Amino acid sequence: MQKHITIPERFRGPPTSGNGGYVAGAFAEQVQQNPDQAVEVTLRAPIPLNAAMSVHRHDAADRASVTIEIDADSTSALSTTKTLIAEVRLQPFSLDIPTPPTYQQALAIRHLAVPLQQRQDSPMPGSLGLHPICFCCGAGHPTGLQVYAAPLQTGQVAAAWQTRAEWADSDGLLPARFLWTALDCPGQLAYFHAGQLTGLLGRMTARVHGTVRAGEPLVVTAWPINVDGKKHFAGSAIFNQKGELIAQAIAVWIGKRAMTEGASPSTT
């Protein structure tokens, strides 16, 4: 297990903090004994970019967990105040997963994806989508994953995701962190197309079932599960072209934001 972990600026979600799915995948590696284990990551504060965060392991008889912290002022050697960034633990879960579309079906609706539409409420005027430079869904991110989820009539959203060979690890595989990333933003878009713009990602519990060769085309789906006060629960999943389940997640999005004029929720 690492003693420190740093999220480079490339892996941002909002302009000044890390993408929730990517950092959850990075944090999950701190407790996993094998890659198929389900891990729950609770985000307690915005994830700083280009700053070393401390990793503290807490071993129990039946469960490993860690906390991720950072100095309140990471530039000061004298700083003693800590900010809790995340809590991570092994946590099994079950999920009812709707039948996904084919890659071609998902590709056919890509033009309806909010990340590819002009919006007046964009945090970067003149840019596309809700999160223009997000590593997962930002059309303005020069080296992002380009996971553009669009609505289906089934109540799901789906993305035809063409992974790239240059994303490969030393074994030629797509990093698990990238799979966690792709499971993230579509959950918020599932609520958008149900008429609700949620707040930030608060928790993600995910399991990666298999490996993927970098460059392989995949299908990402997501759907609303239920709303409990300010908590919006969403499911998401990734499939290969054979329809085999590669990864799945339950995400909790915290808070509500007003829908403003721009690209309206729609189905096809």
Per-residue pLDDT of 103-134, as tens digits, reads 999 999 999 999 999 877 777 777 898 899 99
User: Mind giving me the DSSP string for 170-222?
Assistant: TTSBPPHHHHHHHTTHHHHHHHHTTT-EEEEEEEEEEEE-S--BTT-EEEEEE
Mean pLDDT of the chain: 90
CB 252 within 8 A of CB 187: no
Using pLDDT thresholds of 50, 70 and 90, give the confidence band for residue 10: very high
236 three-state secondary structure: strand
Radius of gyration of the chain (CA): 18
Mean pLDDT of 233-251: 97
- Residue 81: predicted pLDDT: 78
Using pLDDT thresholds of 50, 70 and 90, give the confidence band for residue 146: very high
Domains of the chain: 4-90 (3.10.129.10), 103-257 (3.10.129.10)
- What end-to-end distance do the CA atoms of the chain give, in Å? 46
Residue 84, CA distances (Å) to 2, 56, 257, 258 in order:
17, 11, 25, 29
Using pLDDT thresholds of 50, 70 and 90, give the confidence band for residue 261: very low
Total residues found in the chain within this entry: 268
Mean pLDDT of 157-170: 98
Residue 88, CA distances (Å) to 20, 30, 65, 201, 226 in order:
13, 8, 5, 15, 23
The tokens describing 81, both together, are 């105040």
- Residue 127: predicted pLDDT: 82
The tokens describing 28, both together, are 């999950």
Kindly list the strands in the beta sheet with 157-162, ordered across the sheet, starting from the edge strand earlier in the chain. 4-5, 53-59, 64-71, 82-90, 39-43, 197-208, 245-257, 231-239, 217-228, 157-162, 150-151
- Residue 126: predicted pLDDT: 77
Per-residue pLDDT of 77-95, as tens digits, reads 555 578 999 999 999 999 9
Using pLDDT thresholds of 50, 70 and 90, give the confidence band for residue 260: low
User: Mind giving me the DSSP string for 110-170?
Assistant: GGG-GGGSB-TT-SSTT-BSSSTT-TTT-TT-TT------EE-TTS-EEEEEE--GGG--T
Per-residue pLDDT of 14-59, as tens digits, reads 999 999 999 999 999 999 888 889 999 999 999 999 999 999 988 7
- Residue 259: predicted pLDDT: 66
Using CA atoms, how far apart are residues 49 and 60, in angstroms rounded to an integer?
30
- Residue 79: predicted pLDDT: 52
Using pLDDT thresholds of 50, 70 and 90, give the confidence band for residue 183: very high
